[in-house]
Structure 1
Amino acid sequence: MSPVLAIIATTSADLPNAQELSSQLNLPCLGVASPSEINEVPQVLACGEQLQLCATGRKAPGPVSVDFVGGALAHRRKYGGGKAQPVAKAVGLRPGFYPRVLDATAGLGRDAFVLATLGCEVKMLERNPVVRLLLKDGLRRLQEAATADPELAAIAGLLSLADDIAPAADWLAQQAEESWPVVYLDPMFPPRGKSAKVKKEMVAFHHLVGEDLDADDLLEPALRACYYRTVVKRPKVAPYLADKKPMLSFEGKSGRFDIYTKHGVPG
């Protein structure tokens, strides 16, 4: 069976890193190449100034990477609405209350980063080894940029990635009861209909990660581990996680936040 993912280097200087990654993931290394010139695998990890997940072929969409410094997240950090953002309201953020958050399904870390920019200490969990590498690469570049930018330094100090690669349900089950103020869940959910089509640049990412078929298993250990609340981000059309109705739901621009409370957040 042909591999679905391979490693490439952007330049010859990046080739040693690509070869090391190839050994680490037990994936073929195709040397120095461009994703548009590759047809033998549907996607590649490109080692260069940043690590990128790329679909291959001449008409492939743009790459996916984790960029906590520039791009869309930089714009959101500066102009995204601060504490008025739906994710901030969902976790209960308010003046003087910046809860520690466990993002148990971190993905590309976007919501975790937003919460860190607003003052929350956030630990990310991610079980997919390739996505973990993208996150680690994004954190590395954030820490490098933080040396010259005090604002980024404060954010970098609040954002971390757990070393564990265990499934989130298992990791949560090992936590002490009510040891995390907020547990945040955003499991993958299959898109439905034209209105929920995956953005072109995310096609490779969704092919890699697939659906979280065990997503329902997350809720019970999350509720046990949280103190204030568990927040579940869902598409607007998605059923409740584990078919359990939340105490509160409200909609954001692109989805819905279901909130399961245990203890009230400080007023």
Structure 2
Amino acid sequence: MNETSPGRVAVHWLNPDLESAARLLAARLNLPPYAEGDAADLLLQLGDDGLSLLATAEDAPGAVRVDFVEGALAHRRQYGGGAGQMVARAVGIRGSIRPRVLDATAGLGRDAFVLAALGCEVTLIERQPVIAALLADGLQRAREAGGEVAEIAGRMQLLEGDAIELMAAWSGAVPEVIHLDPMFPHRQKSALVKKEMRLFRPLAGDDLDAPQLLAAALALASHRVAVKRPRKAPIIEGPRPSAELTGQSSRYDIYGKRRLEAD
């Protein structure tokens, strides 16, 4: 698990009509509701447009929310390069092959959404409850949006819990490919360029159990495990990958078990 203190997180509502729903959410997440003047490092905010996470420090970045309907993900869905994207190649999408994927470190669900948009059935696991709540909210709004986005979200199933434990006790259809993107221990502030990282690191910390995560994935996946890493980061402790895909800022270490074939 991680070594980072999660800080003080409170649930805030941006509309008086949402107070009841926000208090229910706070109780489910075992977090305090926010009152003016309370000390909180992070606010999980419920507004008319769903959930968002906001840091309260003066130099903090803006709020983060999961939005599969508009913005960057909508643009990526339409113009992101399709099956030529690195994540698609890493999980083995080619021709008519659309593997059944488990994204065991879901985060904001961006990679999972890309894979689902390309036709894969994707199960997502997120162990940090606040991040899981943001992701569940984004998936619900996508399903309610109708059209293509709802169809894509229909291929995504979210599980909340520890991925190592869930994979060890797996009872459903065995994932052909497992996608991992463990939080890498950054030592320099200059590395924290994305506002999501600045917000989520106090919550999720670094995935110091990445070797155990990889071992559990290798034991479960039927065909391959694809591990996303910073481009210059060392491989995760354990077996060496059988292949590598390298991009400008990141790479994928591929651990092959069997060749993916079209149905």
Does TM, normalized by the shorter one, top 0.5? yes
Q: Equivalent residue of 2:177, what SS? A: strand
The answer to whether the 8 Å contact 2:144/2:150 transfers is: no
Is residue 160 of structure 1 aligned with residue 157 of structure 2?
A: yes
The answer to whether the 8 Å contact 2:113/2:153 transfers is: no
Instruction: Name the CA distance, whole Å, in 2 between partners of 1:153 and 1:177.
Output: 23
The answer to whether the 8 Å contact 1:6/1:44 transfers is: yes
Residues 6, 240 of structure 1: CA spacing in aligned structure 2 closer, same or farther, 3 A cutoff? same
Give the CA deviation at 1:59.
3.8
Q: Which amino acid aligns with 2:13?
A: A
Equivalent residues in 2 for 1:36-115, closer than 5 Å? 40-48=39-47, 49-115=49-115
Is residue 10 of structure 1 aligned with residue 14 of structure 2?
A: yes
Equivalent residues in 2 for 1:174-253, closer than 5 Å? 174-175=169-170, 179-193=174-188, 196-253=191-248
Instruction: Name the CA distance, whole Å, in 1 between partners of 2:234 and 2:169.
Output: 27
The Cα RMSD (Å) is 2.2
Match of 2:138 in 1: 138
Equivalent residues in 2 for 1:244-263, closer than 5 Å? 244-263=239-258
TM-score, normalized by length of structure 2? 0.90
- Deviating more after overlay: 130-139 vs 18-27: 18-27
Gaps of 5+ in 1: none
Q: Equivalent residue of 2:66, what SS? A: coil
Residues 177, 224 of structure 1: CA spacing in aligned structure 2 closer, same or farther, 3 A cutoff? farther
Q: Equivalent residue of 2:137, what SS? A: helix
Instruction: Name the CA distance, whole Å, in 1 between partners of 2:189 and 2:174.
Output: 41
Match of 1:171 in 2: 166
The alignment-based identity, stated in percent, is: 48
Provide, for residues 94-148 of structure 1, a one-character-per-residue CA deviation record: whole Å limited to 9, x for no partner.
11110010001101111000000111100001111111101110011000112xx
Give the CA deviation at 1:175.
2.6
The answer to whether the 8 Å contact 1:178/1:226 transfers is: no
Give the CA deviation at 1:178.
9.1
Instruction: Name the CA distance, whole Å, in 1 between partners of 2:101 and 2:195.
Output: 30
Instruction: Name the CA distance, whole Å, in 2 between partners of 1:111 and 1:192.
Output: 25
Provide, for residues 1-45 of structure 1, a one-character-per-residue CA deviation record: whole Å limited to 9, x for no partner.
x961111111111111121122222222124x6xxxx67211110
Q: Which amino acid aligns with 1:109?
A: G
- Deviating more after overlay: 215-224 vs 112-121: 215-224
Match of 1:28 in 2: 32
The number of residue pairs the alignment matches comes to 257
The answer to whether the 8 Å contact 1:236/1:256 transfers is: yes
The answer to whether the 8 Å contact 2:7/2:203 transfers is: no
Provide, for residues 157-190 of structure 1, a one-character-per-residue CA deviation record: whole Å limited to 9, x for no partner.
211102x52x111111123699221011111112
Match of 2:3 in 1: none
Instruction: Name the CA distance, whole Å, in 2 between partners of 1:216 and 1:28.
Output: 34
Instruction: Determine which structure has greater relative contact order: mean sequence separation of CA pairs < 8 Å that are 6+ residues apart, divided by chain length.
Output: 2
Gaps of 5+ in 2: 1-5
- Deviating more after overlay: 9-18 vs 200-209: 200-209
Provide, for residues 78-103 of structure 1, a one-character-per-residue CA deviation record: whole Å limited to 9, x for no partner.
11000000000001101111001000
Residues 201, 246 of structure 1: CA spacing in aligned structure 2 closer, same or farther, 3 A cutoff? closer
Residues 25, 153 of structure 1: CA spacing in aligned structure 2 closer, same or farther, 3 A cutoff? closer
Give the CA deviation at 1:202.
3.5
The answer to whether the 8 Å contact 1:178/1:224 transfers is: no
Q: Equivalent residue of 1:237, what SS? A: coil
Q: Equivalent residue of 1:61, what SS? A: coil
Give the CA deviation at 1:243.
3.9
